[in-house]
Amino acid sequence: MNAINASSVASIRSPKSLAEICADVRAGRSSARVRVDAFLAEIAARDGEIHAFNEVHADAARAAADAIDATVKAGRDPGTLAGAVIAIKDNIVMREGHTTCSSKMLANYRSPFDATVIERLRAAGAIFIGKTNLDEFAMGSSTENSAFGATRNPWDTSRVPGGSSGGSAAAVAAGFCDASLGSDTGGSIRQPAALCGCVGFKPTYGRVSRYGLVAFGSSLDQIGPFAHSVADAALVYDTIVGRDALDSTTADSPSTPLAAKVAEPLTKLRIGVPREYRSDANAPAVAAVLEKAIVAAKALGAEIVDIDLPLTDIGISTYYVIAPAEASSNLARYDGIRYGHRASLAPGDDLEDLYSKSRAEGFGPEVQRRIMLGTYVLSSGYYDAYYKRALQARRLIKEEFDRAFTQCDVVLGPTSPVVAFPFGGKKDPLSMYLCDVYTVNTNIAGIPGISFNGGYADELGTKLPVGLQLQAPAFAEETLLRAAAMLERACAD
């Protein structure tokens, strides 16, 4: 068992914000190439143990850094994120390297184009250092389901980093990059951020383009950033947010830059704490950190409002009907002919054999489980009993949040009921699914949520982070981020 080392903690507690780091690069006070080389050295020294990355794009990152330094030397502005070193979850396409979704099905896939979020970050001067590991096709909560091996938690390498964006969270926590991108379908940004002690932000559905994100659940998926602080996450979000003609689900709703606003305290803030989030199922350390945060919020002048979200408990069952149903449809394209791995056929095999063998060889057990579940709930005779009822429950969950937000501005609770657990600690799929009990309803309702580090647990002498989550009404990212920054500072004191 190896705990997080001192250099990683120093990176997490860096005295400079990402905005200050980029300002130094833009002014020539710091070199983008020097920064990239330092991160690459850290990755070379320590990622063999952690496995945050599926691929490291060392040459491309150095070339991009050199181009930024040359632009600065020539007296031109390379962009607001100049020199920011960012890792990308391996289900977001980009021209460099492969996009595998940590699956044998796409092990050799190279994208001919960049996702919209990649284009926007690239135009702002960001440098991409590599593609991060994930649960296969983003289906999981521990990053144990990757076809290329599990990612380990930098705080304790005998424990999971969470998932499905475990590689992106671990890369930030380990000090391998300034920030990273992940995708969140039912908590896949916020839960690993909580277990790895960094910030993970899921914007409102439609705030950020999904063009170039390999689809899991199209009505639930959302791209968002991991970072060392709320302010850093806001800076990355400011770059990727906005309407995209290539994604018809992006919202035509203006978003003003928020990075400079997050430090502004909210003079009047009503924080709702659901009774359901103070569950006996929470680990004692998680419950203690939540209560400490409530005390800190009161000291800041916030009003604490007891609220009820009684549909919290049906979120998991609702999610595990809707998400697999959409996955079943989205992954149907991987048939061994149009996309993905193609199996070798034996004499006498037909087209059906090609389909079944290609999918059996290309998809791992968890992906197969969810495809079969999704196909079942969409099948004739079961559609009304399962999928239609799940959609009705989805509407009720959204209405429940709408009512809650008439009483409060944000909702506070744990991100995960447990801290990072040992590998193999949750062999039963249902026990793994329950790790997302506080996060799935955020996606079901389409509202924004953010996880930040609220404190620490002592597990057999090992220090492990405990994440707290804030949720806000749709398109209320400014309130959410400012409230999160306030509590982040209070919990760090």
- Model confidence pLDDT, tens digit, residues 108-143: 999 999 999 999 999 999 999 999 999 999 999 999
Catalytic residue set: 89, 164, 188
Q: What's the topology of domain 6-264?
A: Amidase signature (AS) enzymes (3.90.1300)
Please state the pTM of the whole predicted model: 0.96
Q: Is the peptide bond before 451 cis (omega within 30 degrees of 0)?
A: no
Rounded to an integer, the average pLDDT of 172-181 is 98
Q: What percent of the chain has pLDDT over 90?
A: 92
CA torsion sign, 277 to 281 to 282 to 287?
Answer: positive
Judged against a pLDDT cut of 70, whether residue 13 lies above it is answered with no
Where are the chain's structural domains? 6-264
Half-sphere exposure (CA, 13 Å, Cβ side) for 432? Answer: 23
Give the three-state DSSP class for 33. helix
pLDDT at 255: 83
pLDDT at 4: 53
Q: Taking all residues of the chain, what is their mean pLDDT, rounded to a whole number? A: 95
- Whole-angstrom Cα distance, residue 208 to residue 202? 10
Please count the other Cβ atoms lying within 10 Å of the Cβ belonging to residue 397. Answer: 22
pLDDT at 493: 75
Q: What percent of the chain has pLDDT over 70?
A: 97
Closest CA to 484 of 449, 441, 444, 446: 449
DSSP summary character for residue 302: P
